[in-house]
Amino acid sequence: MPAPIHLQLAKQIVETLKSICDHDINYIDLRGRICASTDPARVDDHHSGGFEAARTGETIVIAQDDPRSGDRRGINMPIRYKGEVVAVIGITGDPEEVQRYADLAQRITILLLREQDLDLHDRAGKAQVQYVLRSIMRGETVHPAVLENVLASRGIASSRGSWRTAVILPDVEDLASLSLLEQELLQVFEQIGKCLFLSRFPEEYVLTAPSSVIGEYLPLLQSLARRRASQLRIGIGAAGKLAQQSHSRETARIAAASLRAGDSTAPLIRYDDLDLEILLASVPAADREAYLQKTLAGLSQEDLDLLRVYYDCGQSLQEASRALFLHKNTLQYKLNRIHGRCGYDPRAFRDAVVLYAALRLQDHQRTSVSLQYS
């Protein structure tokens, strides 16, 4: 059975036909009601000729205006789509003159109906993809027939083998910019093709695909990450079966959260490449707060920023001084001040490990987001 014709489509049909024949056009439903017209005054009027055309399936010609019914001269053509009459198109004017537009009007109307069907089918397909991936992320069982149908729609031959999940965490507060970013992300997902994707606007975007597909399109994801380094983080999770992608998503999120916003040197990271971050992600919230209070509570934001640069430079005074635009003696003074404030010497190996772990733990805490799906 054909999908119902929406009012917006009915308006599009009459406007399109009007542009080719310069006559008033009516879109008439199966009850004889004029739903859309190039003559606004006729909208919602009952059209007896149109109703008769819908009832009989025959073109009804009205030779003269009928003051009693309000029908005007012209032709009223039933539109058949998928074997059924779905609407009537009325063209107002001298029947002999407007008859020459009849065939073209029917062709254009059917073409627009097909476009609506394709659009509805596309939306339904995307909704199914979202449903299946949400279920997988919740650890729920998906009916095999539904799963295989969705995978086939995305060009994926089988659910077997190794899969991975990539998580994209946006760092954009402006909704307009976030909307543009989302459009770009969806274009990338469609370019990859053989994947399932899920958007949780505006917090997170999830892409799940066979590991081979992730590997093939890794350069594309890296390019996206570099291009949008100030606006997102991308993490790629551990490999596993499709049914285990909830775990892969969690590990992908741990990877993404390990990145600092705006770090264009490492805009994308794989869980397989992590080390210390794996341990930090497992620290309970209460223990995390206690550790940060013990180590970093006495330090200012300036102190924390200096420590990050110092450790990023491998504790090299020369490189850190250059990066911070400080004289080495000034940097030494500031490091001594940090030692005095927190009790840990940033230059001593054991204390440096404590402080570095605290900084990474703080980064992880800041970028942590809730991943509970509604």
DSSP 191-215: HH-SSEEEEETTTEEEEEEEHHHHH
Q: φ, ψ for residue 170 (rounded to 5)?
A: -70, 150
Percent of the chain at pLDDT above 90? 47
The per-residue pLDDT for 349 is 95
CATH topology of domain 154-274: Alpha-Beta Plaits (3.30.70)
Which architecture characterizes domain 7-118 according to CATH? 2-Layer Sandwich (3.30)
Q: Which band of pLDDT confidence, cut at 50, 70 and 90, is reported for residue 309?
A: very high
Integer Cα distance of 18 and 254 in angstroms: 57
The yes-or-no verdict on residue 85 having pLDDT over 80 is: yes
The per-residue pLDDT for 293 is 94
The yes-or-no verdict on residue 330 having pLDDT over 90 is: yes
More confident residue, 167 or 231: 167
The yes-or-no verdict on residue 316 having pLDDT over 90 is: yes
Averaged pLDDT of the chain = 86
- Tell me whether residue 247 is exposed, middle or buried, using C-beta atoms within 10 angstroms of its C-beta: 0 to 12, 13 to 18, 19 or more: middle
Q: Which band of pLDDT confidence, cut at 50, 70 and 90, is reported for residue 176?
A: confident
Q: pLDDT tens, 161-174?
A: 999 999 998 887 76
Percent of the chain at pLDDT above 70? 90
Q: Which band of pLDDT confidence, cut at 50, 70 and 90, is reported for residue 256?
A: confident
In this structure, of 91-105, 264-278, 333-347, the range with the lowest mean pLDDT score is: 264-278
What is the domain partition of the chain in residue ranges? 7-118, 154-274, 284-367
The per-residue pLDDT for 372 is 38
The yes-or-no verdict on residue 107 having pLDDT over 90 is: no
The yes-or-no verdict on residue 290 having pLDDT over 90 is: yes
Q: What's the maximum distance between 2 C-alpha atoms anywhere in the chain?
A: 101
Q: Which band of pLDDT confidence, cut at 50, 70 and 90, is reported for residue 4?
A: low
- pTM given for the model: 0.57
Could you tell me how many residues make up the chain?
A: 374
In CATH, the number for domain 284-367 is 1.10.10.2840
The per-residue pLDDT for 11 is 85
The per-residue pLDDT for 117 is 67
User: Which of 76-85, 126-135, 224-233, 318-327 tops mean pLDDT?
Assistant: 318-327
The per-residue pLDDT for 1 is 44
Integer Cα distance of 159 and 194 in angstroms: 11
Integer Cα distance of 227 and 181 in angstroms: 11
Q: Which band of pLDDT confidence, cut at 50, 70 and 90, is reported for residue 175?
A: low
Whole-Å CA distances, 36 to 23, 125, 363? 14, 30, 58
The per-residue pLDDT for 143 is 79
More confident residue, 120 or 28: 28
The yes-or-no verdict on residue 58 having pLDDT over 90 is: yes
Q: pLDDT tens, 182-228?
A: 888 888 998 999 999 887 756 789 999 999 999 999 999 999 998 88
Integer Cα distance of 92 and 196 in angstroms: 49
